Structure 1
Amino acid sequence: MTARTVPARAFAAAGAVAVLVAGLTACSSAGDDKDPEHRSFDVEGRTLTVDSDDSALEIVASDGNASGRIEVTRWFQGSVAVGEEPRVTWKMDDDRLVLRMHCSGVVADCSAKHRIEVPRGLAVKVEDEDGSVRARGFRDPLNIRTGDGSVHVTDSSGPLELRSRDGSVRAEVSSRRVRAHTADGSVRLQLGAVPDLVESRSGDGSVTVTLPRATYKVTTETGDGGVDVSVPRDDASSHVVNARTGDGKVTLRTAN
């Protein structure tokens, strides 16, 4: 009986799979990165712009940070099975912090997390193409825009403008002026102080706003969903709340 031979290309394919599996086994992840990189940058103006292409961002305002100086810490969160380690660039250009990451290889999951600590008295504008953004501690204006990622702001009292093209927007704050928009995702706002203006809008998702007890001038709209308003209403009120969604429920309620 003649033994059946296996084509050489089968052995080559098996070898490639073995290499790939070995690489995946050895790849690094967020939990493996015990030695994050750190940089300090000087800010000359009163507004910092953060420009990121592919990172999760945590931005913290604190009295403990030196005036005019921001501190940036970066953790690698992805994995590279076959190929070079990720290449990271970060630079300050006219008070614009530019964060970039480039990964190459046969298999790559390229992502990072940056923690940015800023001093009080500095307004911050965030432009993140792909990644979530969390922020806290702001008394000064905060403007966040993401292409693909959620936005979550806490412990802040300064004016907020929060936008996401594809992600939820959440805020638990005491800000007097809040604008929160998303094209695809829910909006959930919980305010600890009576606001002057709240504008909340979703293209596809529910909108929920929880407010302190007061009388509000309310405007609501939904293309496909219910509306539940339990806050006191008065069209002459100086406290204005607008809540709109194309597809989802609108809820305005008083905090317990």
Structure 2
Amino acid sequence: MNRRAAPPSTAIALTAALVSVSCSLETGEETLTDSHEFALTGNHLTIATDGSTVELRESDIDTVSFDQYLGGAASDGNASWTVDGDTLLLETTCTGFTPDCSGRYAITVPAGTAVEVTGRGRSVTVAGLSGPVSASLDNGTIDVSDTSGDLDLTARSGHIRTGNTSGALTASITTNHMEIREARGPLTLRSESGNLVVEDIRSSEVTTSTRSGDARLVFAEPPQRVEATSEGSGNVRVTLPAGPETYQVVTEAHRLESEVEHDPASDRLISVVGKDVRLTWAG
């Protein structure tokens, strides 16, 4: 099934019908123009987006439902959605000089659904999902919060932000920056040229790799294994919670400042490689 925003010539004729099904509610400069739901054949939803904003949440429902909000030139026949099996295709494409052109899709999935998002989007926001999530954008922002499933996130020219996640998290950025907060599952993070800010960490295993960006890791609980590598000019800062725990400390740096003493008998490891490395205790 394919729907496209109505052109101006049909907007008046559709107004009464849209009002009757509560599809003309205003949200800022955007208008709720369509709503739809469909059933999945399994437990996996794929979303392919081109120029659209995607918002994901879950509920105790049996079908996938979504609302389409359009603003500016997107309402002039420049946005569409299509359902093809278990794949939802979203497109918002305005040509020429169109500073006001927005297509936003608020999507609700059944609890536990595995979700995969790919394409070129303005942003992807994930809140409260319990199933695994994979999101890969050529450009755009990825924001994830309050999830319990595993996460696999890639932003090639946007940034990634996560908060309060408990599953394993693998994330990669090419430019811009990454902010990871309140993570409890294993972390594998990579940045080509952006900075990594990882704070309030409760993960036992953390691996980070940067090229030209800096990495700052602040732990709220003692980790079991930390491997942080800067392959280029970036600095690495690791802050550990004060306590009785000791660590094997392995470093390779042009400049090293460490408050953490090496204990060869410890079963905990801190391994850091970088141009400028600093290991400190919190407080």
Q: Which residue, out of 77, 99, 111, partners 2:71?
A: 77
Q: What are the Cα deviations for residues 162-183 of structure 1, in whole angstroms up to 9, with x where unaligned?
A: 1100011110023231011100
Q: CA deviation at 1:79?
A: 3.4
Q: What are the Cα deviations for residues 137-165 of structure 1, in whole angstroms up to 9, with x where unaligned?
A: 11110011111111110011110011100
Aligned length: 215
Larger Rg: 1
Identity of matched residues, %: 26
- CA change 1:102–1:150 in 2 (3 A) is closer
Q: When the two structures are superposed, what TM-score results if normalisation uses the length of structure 2? A: 0.66
Q: Which residue of 2 aligns with 1:11?
A: none
Q: When the two structures are superposed, what TM-score results if normalisation uses the length of structure 1? A: 0.73
Unaligned 5+ runs, structure 2: 1-25, 203-220, 242-246, 249-265
Taking the aligned partners of 1:107 and 1:76, their CA distance within structure 2 comes to 17
Q: Which residue, out of 162, 169, 175, partners 2:166?
A: 175
Larger RCO: 1 or 2 (CA < 8 Å, sep 6+) = 1
Q: Which residue, out of 164, 181, 188, partners 1:190?
A: 181
Q: Which residue of 2 aligns with 1:156?
A: 147
> Is the 1:206–1:250 Cα contact (8 Å) retained in structure 2?
no
- Aligned residue type for 1:163: T
Runs of 4+ in 1 over 6 A off after TM superposition: 240-245, 248-256
Q: Which residue of 2 aligns with 1:202?
A: 191
- CA change 1:244–1:158 in 2 (3 A) is farther
Q: What are the Cα deviations for residues 85-138 of structure 1, in whole angstroms up to 9, with x where unaligned?
A: 13332122120111123445x643433111111110210000131311110111
> Is the 2:172–2:190 Cα contact (8 Å) retained in structure 1?
yes
Instruction: State yes or no: 1:225 paired with 2:234.
Output: yes
RMSD, matched Cα = 3.3
Q: What are the Cα deviations for residues 191-213 of structure 1, in whole angstroms up to 9, with x where unaligned?
A: 353x2x21111111111222120
1:111 alignment partner, SS class: strand
Q: Which residue of 1 aligns with 2:84?
A: 93
- CA change 1:192–1:98 in 2 (3 A) is same
Q: Which residue, out of 86, 96, 119, partners 1:128?
A: 119
- Aligned residue type for 1:229: V
- Aligned residue type for 1:117: T
